């Protein structure tokens, strides 16, 4: 069953958080999920040690390159979804996992430095595509976005990604206390107390939208491959709006970051 890898050589990009959100969402839908915890920090394994882990989520601690490849094979055969949470490096384990993936999610925060990490992850995917001689669907997932406004830095990152023809999730992962609480309290979003956690319903809706889009990207992999333009340095990209298809932004340049515009060439 599908192997979905979360990769970005930059630490703190939101890989582990997004990986866990997808896992608990799929488990909530009754799917058997295996999470390969290939991050030396083992945050997912620490979460699993807390109470409330759904029975249908198996945690497999990732080891070296060879072990990871074998683990992916085994879990691929018996789980409904295999989620690989990678370390913030660009080593051989990362390359191997990307090469074995049906979808690579590249969580990226909305600032130039973070987008550079995202661009590096894109290059890793494209390298693995050449090595394995197959298309590996991937998309940037903007993370820790502001629920109220889209910052100028975020806009620049979105423009840069669109200009470079890099696919981007329409759903962004909003900054939510609930997502942090998961790692403190354990369990799932449904298990958190709405009286204790602010905007829990919004956090749940956001996670659901992300999971739906991720699964959709698996079902309809990019029919048109992403342009192979090499992204230039993010900082050099001027914050010029593209002429279309984006209409005039709403008043006071407010846009909802839960659904950002798509830069994916397969999504008109």
Ligand X SMILES: Nc1ncnc2c1ncn2[C@@H]1O[C@H](COP(=O)(O)OP(=O)(O)O)[C@@H](O)[C@H]1O
Residue 123 has, within 13 A of its CA and on its CB side, a CA count of 11
Asked if 17 interacts with ligand X (CB under 6 A), we say yes
CA angle 117, 122, 125 (to 5 degrees): 130
Q: What is the spatial distance between Cα 263 and Cα 268, in angstroms, rounded to a whole number?
A: 9
Alpha helix (H) ranges present in the chain?
15-28, 43-49, 65-78, 92-99, 112-132, 152-163, 177-185, 200-219
Binding characters for Mg ion, 29-48, by CB under 5 A (x = yes): ----------x---------
Question: Is residue 15 at the binding interface for Mg ion, with CB under 5 A as the rule?
Answer: yes
CA gyration radius, the chain? 18
Contacts of 19 (CB under 8 A, 6+ apart): 6, 35, 44, 83, 84, 85, 105
Binding-residue pattern over the window 139 to 158 for ligand X, x denoting contact by CB under 6 A: ----xx--------------
Applying CB under 6 A, does 173 fall inside the site for ligand X? yes
Q: How far are the Cα atoms of 120, 162, 184 from residue 115, in angstroms, in the given order?
A: 8, 12, 28
Please list every residue from 105 through 124 that binds ligand X, using CB under 6 A: 107
Least distance to ligand X from the beta carbon of 21, Å? 8
Tokens at 41, concatenated: 């920090």
Residue 159 binds Mg ion, judged by CB under 5 A: no
Residue 15 binds ligand X (CB under 6 A): yes
Residue 11 touches which of ligand X, Mg ion, none (Cβ within 5-8 Å per kind): ligand X
Residue 93 or 162: which CB sits closer to Mg ion? Answer: 93
Indicate whether 14 belongs to the interface with ligand X (CB under 6 A).
yes
Q: Do 176 and 197 form a contact (C-beta atoms < 8 A)?
A: no
In a 13 Å sphere around the CA of 74, the CA atoms on its Cβ side amount to: 13
Q: Give the nearest distance from C-beta 45 to Mg ion in angstroms.
A: 11
| 173, interface contact from Mg ion, ligand X, none, CB < 5-8 Å by kind | ligand X
Compute the least distance from the CB of residue 27 to ligand X, in Å: 18
Q: Does 109 bind Mg ion (CB under 5 A)?
A: no
Is position 40 an interface residue for ligand X (rule: CB under 6 A)?
no
Q: Binding to ligand X (CB under 6 A): which residues in 89-108? A: 107
Task: Determine, following the binding rule CB under 6 A, whether residue 11 of this chain makes contact with ligand X.
Answer: yes
Cα gap 28→262, rounded to integer Å: 27
Residues that bind Mg ion (rule: CB under 5 A) add up to a total of: 3
Instruction: Return residues touching ligand X (CB under 6 A).
Output: 8, 11-17, 43, 88, 107, 143-144, 173, 175-176, 179-180, 183
């Amino acid at each position: 069953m599908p192997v979905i890898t979360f990769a970005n050589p930059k630490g703190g990009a939101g890989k582990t958080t997004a990986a866990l959100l997808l896992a608990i969402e799929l488990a909530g839908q009754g799917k058997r999920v295996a999470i390969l915890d290939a991050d030396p920090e083992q945050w997912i394994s620490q979460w699993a040690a807390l109470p409330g882990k759904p029975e249908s989520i198996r945690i497999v601690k990732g080891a070296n390159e060879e072990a990871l490849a074998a683990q992916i094979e085994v879990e691929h055969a018996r789980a409904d979804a295999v989620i690989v949470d990678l370390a913030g490096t660009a080593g051989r384990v990362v390359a191997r996992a990307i090469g074995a993936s049906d979808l690579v999610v590249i969580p990226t925060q909305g600032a130039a430095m973070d987008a550079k990490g995202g661009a590096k992850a894109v290059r890793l995917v494209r390298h693995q595509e050449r090595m394995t001689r197959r298309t590996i669907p991937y998309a940037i997932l903007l993370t820790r976005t502001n629920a109220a406004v889209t910052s100028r830095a975020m806009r620049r990152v979105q423009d840069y990604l669109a200009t470079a023809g890099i696919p981007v999730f329409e759903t962004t992962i909003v900054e939510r206390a609930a997502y942090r609480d998961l790692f403190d309290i354990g369990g799932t979003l449904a298990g958190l107390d709405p009286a204790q956690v602010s905007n829990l319903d919004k956090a749940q809706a956001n996670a659901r939208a992300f999971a739906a889009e991720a699964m959709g990207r698996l079902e309809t992999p990019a029919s048109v491959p992403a342009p192979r333009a090499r992204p230039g340095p993010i900082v050099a990209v001027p914050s010029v709006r593209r002429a279309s298809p984006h209409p005039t932004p709403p008043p006071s340049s407010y846009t909802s970051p839960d659904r950002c515009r798509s830069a994916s060439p397969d999504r008109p």
